[in-house]
């Protein structure tokens, strides 16, 4: 298999849905918004690059669409296959779940109506090549859907700046491997795409301070996977001291707001 410089999510497969899953009903709301935005019909062929455990794919597959999902993580795909068997008793014949790299899609030219990436391009150094591949496999008139979630008001509040400051003081600066949403948008514009932005769903988030601290301590976020062990251990001790001082009641609930945004590109 072609190997890009990417962050594989094998290590997150067992906890991805528990830490990144949408609240009940939001996945269906996002699926409704995708179907409406791309004007899907029963004949529409979807491709999802970096499909993961099927957070976006599952409700669309359950509606009967033809769906190709690719990912470099066999472990994430194993979770998706398991969920499909549980929900549908099988992997439907019009669905293909494959281990493949986004920079070399295992598909012929002009074969899909809708190609999607959701929370993926920030993980791939060669993200521009991925967009090139997506354009290659899209049918004329097809749509590229770039999806991402935004914490409008983040429960992470003061956690994230504090964690970053501790790491910086220890000499570690997290580096994004791939593209920010601004970079993707600029690149698509430069490529002559007609762009349309939509908010597919909005919801409230609630998490206890303790549970949020555990997400950092368990290295749940991919941004923490590149931190060397010795720096992580020291940083976590300092973070824990700050946490104890700042949250005498660790069971306090922190509220936030999130939304799922979509940028649709057509050429
Ligand atoms: C943050 S997860 C998002 C999964 C899914 N799209 C979702 O929204 O739940 C990113 C996924 O992209 C996959 N990925 C990273 N680099 C990739 C690459 N070069 N080719 C294919 N998949 C890749 C990871 O293994 C992971 O499963």
Q: What is the edge-to-edge ordering of all strands in the sheet holding 95-99?
A: 95-99, 66-71, 45-49, 112-118, 138-153, 253-266, 194-208
Taking each helix axis from N to C end, the angle separating 159-169 and 209-217, rounded to the nearest 10 degrees, works out to 30
Whole-number Å distance between alpha carbons of 144 and 248: 47
Separation of 53 CA from ligand 1 center, angstroms? 9
Domain ranges of the chain: 10-153+176-205+258-266
Mean pLDDT of 47-60: 98
User: Model's pTM, two decimal places?
Assistant: 0.94
pLDDT digits (tens, 9 = 90+) for 226-250: 999 999 999 999 999 999 999 999 9
pLDDT digits (tens, 9 = 90+) for 207-219: 999 999 999 999 9
Question: Is residue 1 pLDDT above 70, yes or no?
Answer: no
DSSP 121: G
Half-sphere CA count of 182, side-chain side, radius 13 A? 0
Whole-number Å distance between alpha carbons of 219 and 137: 35
Residue 55, pLDDT score: 96
Residues with a CB atom less than 6 Å from ligand 1: 4, 6-9, 49-52, 55-56, 70-73, 76, 101-102, 118-120, 123-124
User: Residues of the chain with pLDDT > 70: what percent?
Assistant: 99
The preferred substitution site among 18, 101, 123, 225 for testing ligand 1, maximizing ligand atoms within 8 Å of CB, is 123
Question: Is residue 4 pLDDT above 90, yes or no?
Answer: no
Residue 175, pLDDT score: 87
Separation of 14 CA from ligand 1 center, angstroms? 14
Question: Is residue 3 pLDDT above 80, yes or no?
Answer: no
The preferred substitution site among 5, 20, 26, 50 for testing ligand 1, maximizing ligand atoms within 8 Å of CB, is 50
Residue 155, pLDDT score: 72
Residue 154, pLDDT score: 75
Residue 161, pLDDT score: 93
What integer best gives the mean pLDDT of the chain?
A: 95
pLDDT digits (tens, 9 = 90+) for 133-190: 999 999 999 999 999 987 766 777 899 999 999 999 999 998 889 999 999 999 999 9
The preferred substitution site among 72, 107, 145 for testing ligand 1, maximizing ligand atoms within 8 Å of CB, is 72
Mean pLDDT of 104-120: 98
Taking each helix axis from N to C end, the angle separating 229-246 and 209-217, rounded to the nearest 10 degrees, works out to 170
Question: Is residue 73 pLDDT above 90, yes or no?
Answer: yes
Bigger pLDDT: 256 vs 126: 126
Q: For ligand 1, what atom is nearest to the CA of residue 4?
A: 19
Separation of 71 CA from ligand 1 center, angstroms? 6
Pick the CATH number of 10-153+176-205+258-266 from 3.40.50.10860, 3.20.10.10, 3.40.120.10, 3.40.50.150: 3.40.50.150
């Amino acid at each position: 298999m072609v190997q890009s410089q990417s962050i594989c999510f094998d290590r997150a497969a067992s906890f991805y849905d528990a830490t990144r899953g949408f609240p009940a009903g939001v996945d269906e709301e996002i699926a409704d918004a995708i179907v409406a935005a791309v004007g899907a019909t029963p004949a529409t062929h979807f491709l999802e690059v970096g499909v993961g455990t099927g957070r976006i794919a599952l409700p669309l597959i359950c509606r009967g669409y033809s769906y190709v999902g690719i990912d470099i993580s066999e472990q994430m795909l194993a979770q998706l296959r398991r969920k499909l068997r549980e929900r549908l008793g099988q992997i439907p014949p019009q669905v293909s779940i494959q281990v493949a790299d986004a920079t070399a899609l295992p598909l012929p030219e002009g074969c899909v109506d809708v190609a999607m990436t959701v929370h993926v391009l920030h993980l791939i150094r060669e993200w521009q090549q991925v967009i090139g591949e997506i354009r290659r496999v899209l049918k004329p008139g097809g749509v590229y859907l770039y999806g991402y979630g935004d914490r409008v008001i983040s429960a992470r509040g003061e956690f994230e700046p504090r964690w970053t400051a501790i790491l910086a003081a220890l000499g570690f600066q997290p580096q994004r491997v791939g593209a920010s949403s601004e970079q993707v948008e600029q690149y698509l514009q430069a490529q002559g795409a007609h762009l349309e932005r939509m908010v597919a769903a909005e919801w409230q988030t609630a998490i206890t301070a303790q549970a949020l601290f555990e997400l950092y301590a368990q290295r749940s976020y991919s941004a923490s996977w590149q931190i060397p062990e010795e720096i992580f251990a020291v940083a976590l001790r300092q973070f824990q001291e700050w946490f104890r001082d700042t949250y005498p009641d660790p069971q306090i609930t922190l509220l936030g707001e999130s939304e799922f945004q979509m940028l649709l590109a057509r050429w």
